[in-house]
Homo-oligomer: A and B are copies of this chain.
Amino acid sequence: MDIKQYMKQIGERARQASHAMAKADSAAKNRALTLIAAAIRRDADALRAANKLDLDAALANGLEPALLDRLTLSDKAIATMAEGLEQIVALPDPIGEISNMKVRPTGIQIGQMRVPLGVIGIIYEARPNVTVDAAGLCIKSGNATILRGGSEAIHCNQALAKLVKEGLAGAGLPQDAVQVVETTDRAAVGELITMPQYVDVIVPRGGKGLIARLMAEATVPMIKHLDGICHVYIDDKADPKKALDVAFNAKCHRYGTCNTMETLLVARDIAPSILPQLAKLYAEKEVELRCDDEAKKILAGYAHLASATEEDWSTEYLAPILSIKTVGGVDEAIAHINRYSSKHTDAIITEDYSRALQFLREVDSASVMVNASTRFADGFEYGLGAEIGISNDKLHARGPVGLEGLTSLKYVVFGHGEVRT
């Protein structure tokens, strides 16, 4: 198969389908989502059978247990996919809304209409549920989508794609609105990220390695974050209980997520009292603490103590490891964060009003928090209803990205024959 030619055809079909999707009304889009959910429940057995083909191949190839786990389509995972689609049905349709309408002195009325981006390319790894989640969000936001899942999940993804197409057809929408790339050849990804004439934005979902590779080559814009090096700063005016609760939750609620704290900053004046209490909590989870000299002295005797190196301040551990640095106060904390943070999510714990506002204003990250766990940085927790990804960039979407991140605003002008003089 000529991959270049194959991807070009997929691109052309997606672009074509995107015009029909942009015009589709809410009822048709919701009908498609409802039909897909029903088809997934109906064909649960067939989906598991397809998944078994993938799992057998993965076992034969010696895939890691963590990846096998993500690849597995359990009964619960199948039910969750169908429910996820029904939740998307319940979200308001963002498309067509006109806002900010103003009358200008010339007589024209000007506002902005929310419209789909067009064609969204999604590149992801093992999890087959992404196929359905991403298809659902793209359908609801009036976009066409090209899905490129991991080669490990190819049978399952193709079985799901068939159900998605069935639902689209049942609602009178073009089946090409959702296309799953059917080759596992890596060159297909290279094509997908370099055809801006067919693809308006790429949303990569996967590890840092995948995204860094894509960034180096892509000519299509991406909504992406590379890593989450998130900070909590405990100010000397912090409420100790809040500090303990948040610093423990931000590190230990889940280790492998991008909104997990990786570095704790502590004000010098509160470090001697707060750090030993915190260490008691971390000790239960056997969290390794990589400290600067001051913090290390305070924590002498802690079972999993180590010295932080310069590299630690830029490391996303995704593991029960935490780097700790003592700082003089809020200014030093902000400077450290703006230097080392991945601009994902950073929090201050303080009861001081002015320092809270200063931190919110000056920390240059997608999410900035006062007295709350960084773990809240998430589309569902923020009330977006669904999340297609997270962006650490400043242009277009920033932070958790929901339906609105898959749309654009165009200007609409209502005139009465006005001309410019």
Question: In the bound complex, how far is the Cα of B253 from the Cα of A38, in angstroms?
Answer: 57
Question: In the bound complex, how far is the Cα of B394 from the Cα of A409, in angstroms?
Answer: 8
Among A265-296, those with CB < 8 Å from B are: none
Question: In the bound complex, how far is the Cα of B399 from the Cα of A410, in angstroms?
Answer: 7
Question: In the bound complex, how far is the Cα of B108 from the Cα of A347, in angstroms?
Answer: 13
Residues from chain B with Cβ under 8 Å of A410 in the complex? 364-368, 398-399
A360 and B412 contacting across the interface, CB-CB below 8 Å: yes
**Interface assignment of A314: CB less than 8 Å from any CB of chain B:** no
A396 and B399 contacting across the interface, CB-CB below 8 Å: no
Residues from chain B with Cβ under 8 Å of A415 in the complex? 246, 347, 369-373, 376
Residues from chain B with Cβ under 8 Å of A370 in the complex? 413-415
**Interface assignment of A45: CB less than 8 Å from any CB of chain B:** no
Given contact pairs A364-B118, A369-B415, A375 touches B420 in the complex (Cβ within 8 A): yes
* A contacts with B, residue count (CB < 8 A): 66
Residues from chain B with Cβ under 8 Å of A249 in the complex? 419-420
Residues from chain B with Cβ under 8 Å of A239 in the complex? 417
**Interface assignment of A172: CB less than 8 Å from any CB of chain B:** no
Given contact pairs A376-B108, A420-B381, A412 touches B22 in the complex (Cβ within 8 A): no
Question: In the bound complex, how far is the Cα of B417 from the Cα of A372, in angstroms?
Answer: 5
Given contact pairs A372-B413, A419-B253, A420-B376, A394 touches B117 in the complex (Cβ within 8 A): yes
- Copies per assembly: 2
Among A240-257, those with CB < 8 Å from B are: 241-242, 245-246, 248-250, 253
Q: How far is the CB of A262 from chain B (nearest CB, A)?
A: 16
Q: Which one of B22, B102, B221, B246 lies within 8 Å of A417 (CB-CB)? A: B246
Residues from chain B with Cβ under 8 Å of A377 in the complex? 411, 413
Q: How far is the CB of A199 from chain B (nearest CB, A)?
A: 12
**Interface assignment of A362: CB less than 8 Å from any CB of chain B:** yes
Q: Which one of B398, B399, B408, B420 lies within 8 Å of A253 (CB-CB)? A: B420
26 A-B contacts (beta carbon < 8 Å)? A19-B338, A19-B362, A22-B361, A104-B382, A108-B369, A113-B361, A115-B361, A201-B395, A239-B417, A249-B419, A250-B419, A253-B420, A347-B415, A364-B410, A367-B410, A369-B415, A371-B414, A371-B415, A371-B417, A372-B416, A372-B418, A376-B420, A377-B411, A377-B413, A395-B395, A399-B410
